[in-house]
Amino acid sequence: MSSALMNARVAVIGGGWSGAAAAWHLHHARPGQGARWTWFETAPQLGGRARRLKPDSPLDNGQHIMIGAYRESLALIRSLRQAVLGEDEVRHPLFQRLPLTLLDPQGDGLVLPPGHPLLAFGRAMWSHPTWQLRDKLSLARWSVAQALRGFDCPPELSVDELCAGLTRTIRKELVEPLCVAALNTPSSQACAVTFLQVLKDGLFGGSGASDLLIPRVSLGAVLPEPLQHWCGQVQADLRLSTRVQSLSPPRQGQPWLVNGEPFDAVILACSAVEAARLCQDFAPDWARTAAQFRYEPIATAYFHAPVRKAWPAPMLALQETPECPAQFAFLLREHPLPPPWQAKGHQWFSLVASGASGWVHRGQDVLGKACIQQVQQQMRHLVATPQLQLAHLIVEKRATFRCTPMLDRPPSRIARGLWAAGDYVEGRYPATLEGAVRSGRAAASALIAELS
Ligand SMILES: Cc1cc2nc3c(=O)[nH]c(=O)nc-3n(C[C@H](O)[C@H](O)[C@H](O)COP(=O)(O)OP(=O)(O)OC[C@H]3O[C@@H](n4cnc5c(N)ncnc54)[C@H](O)[C@@H]3O)c2cc1C
């Protein structure tokens, strides 16, 4: 290891999943050297957009799922939990893992059987109970055409344009829900290149790549809380509740200044808006690109009620209509409820409305009532609707950037000694946990290479 790297002081700004990956990789690049990095986070806890709602809550800031293809996030979670909790507790599964399943509340729909995702997809498609032969043929033809083109297409295409040859049923029941779940952008506006990339990773990413991973516990317990514990173990300089107000570039051989404090290098793992604010004076072009994103909200309605009968799957595809905002429902069977509700046999479940800008404009009250109505209309055979309780309605207005065609995403390198990490940074992933983790690791590796 070079002495420049051994002696360097590095600041990581932002404690979301990208900052977590950056801090973890910085630390492991210098084994035995102690923590020479300082980690700033505005909030009183780590986790950013993917964290526990409140310290004592079993729920999250918004319902999240992962897929088997999220290899770097899963590897980070595994390594961290091994370091903090030891081997045995790592065996306790944090996620409910199931093959890609798009069942409606009646139990009809797509279920991938075990095996290679591509073959499983073909079998699931042919055995689908309600699709007509012409639906299946259109999907088969389309899939072969995409595979022959290497899952690539002209950059200006939207997902709707890419899928124009598919039947209406396939677009409604498969493309639209997958698109909004993966890209949080309606298919009429979503980037076809990114959509194909997600499909390719799921279908060609090897065994288990398309599996759904639904957290059994709060996401806080999956990564941010063990991470905070680990920071204590390695005596990291973690500064929670500390917003970075100013970042000044090196002048005349001086180091970077973060809130006036000197650092040799900086990883900016905060939001694109904050990164643009901090860099606008010395990297105006980069800041302009980072500031131009448009965002899509995600609303999560957390309910509890007695469950009438077993759900066909823990994740159900709902019908989104002009009156019904949500595309998915999740049964959170293992999330504890306060004792009075537990005694009454209630269980948590959530409804998720992605790409929900239209609903957000109509206000939380209207949205909450629409979610209740959707449960009453589409799920009344699964939950006892007279006892239904809407416990929390969480609207994240800037949940993810709107993933549109030809989107200009800023590169990770901003200046010498300054690298950006975050789900918005240039890369082949949409705004996801995996995109964030990959960019954090990449920024740390690039910075280490620069200092070495
Ligand atoms: C409701 C919802 C549902 C989602 N569902 C999914 C899903 O199912 N699957 C999936 O893969 N992804 C999902 N996502 C997206 C995923 O949460 C994000 O892509 C990921 O968390 C982004 O991590 P990040 O580190 O890039 O950014 P963030 O999580 O935004 O982290 C940035 C951090 O920087 C801090 N910060 C900002 N400014 C400063 C400053 N000046 N000084 C110090 N700290 C600062 C912030 O407080 C924050 O903690 C969802 C997002 C939301 C909101």
Instruction: List, as one string, the DSSP characters of 250-299.
Output: --TT--EEETTEEESEEEE-S-HHHHHHHHTTT-HHHHHHHHT--EEEEE
d(CA 125, CA 109): 9
Tell me, using a 6 A CB cutoff, whether residue 202 lines ligand 1: no
Ligand 1 centroid, distance to 1 Cα (angstroms):
32
Ligand 1 centroid, distance to 234 Cα (angstroms):
24
d(CA 335, CA 58): 6
SS3 391: strand
Instruction: Determine how β-strand 37-40 pairs with β-strand 237-239.
Output: parallel
Q: Please state the domain extents for the chain.
A: 3-91+218-293+407-451, 108-204, 295-401
Q: What is the ipTM of this complex?
A: 0.99
What pLDDT was estimated at residue 31? Answer: 60
Ligand 1 pocket test, candidate residues 45, 359, 392, 433, most atoms within 8 A of CB = 433
Ligand 1 centroid, distance to 17 Cα (angstroms):
7
356, two tokens: 């929900």
Tell me, using a 6 A CB cutoff, whether residue 369 lines ligand 1: no
pLDDT tens string 56-72: 899 999 999 999 999 99
Ligand 1 centroid, distance to 38 Cα (angstroms):
19
Q: What is the mean pLDDT for each group of 10 consecutive residues in the chain (452 residues)? A: 70 98 90 73 97 93 94 94 77 85 93 84 90 95 92 96 96 93 94 94 84 93 95 94 97 92 97 98 98 97 95 95 96 88 91 93 96 98 96 96 97 97 95 97 94 82
What pLDDT was estimated at residue 13? Answer: 98
H-type helices in 280-429, by residue range? 284-291, 339-343, 357-362, 364-378
CATH numeric code, 3-91+218-293+407-451: 3.50.50.60
Instruction: Give the number of the atom of ligand 1 that is nearest the alpha carbon of residue 398.
Output: 53
What pLDDT was estimated at residue 34? Answer: 46
Going by alpha carbons, the residue nearest to atom 32 of ligand 1 is 270
What pLDDT was estimated at residue 344? Answer: 86
Q: Contact, 269 vs 19, CB < 8 A?
A: yes
d(CA 388, CA 308): 12
What pLDDT was estimated at residue 256? Answer: 97
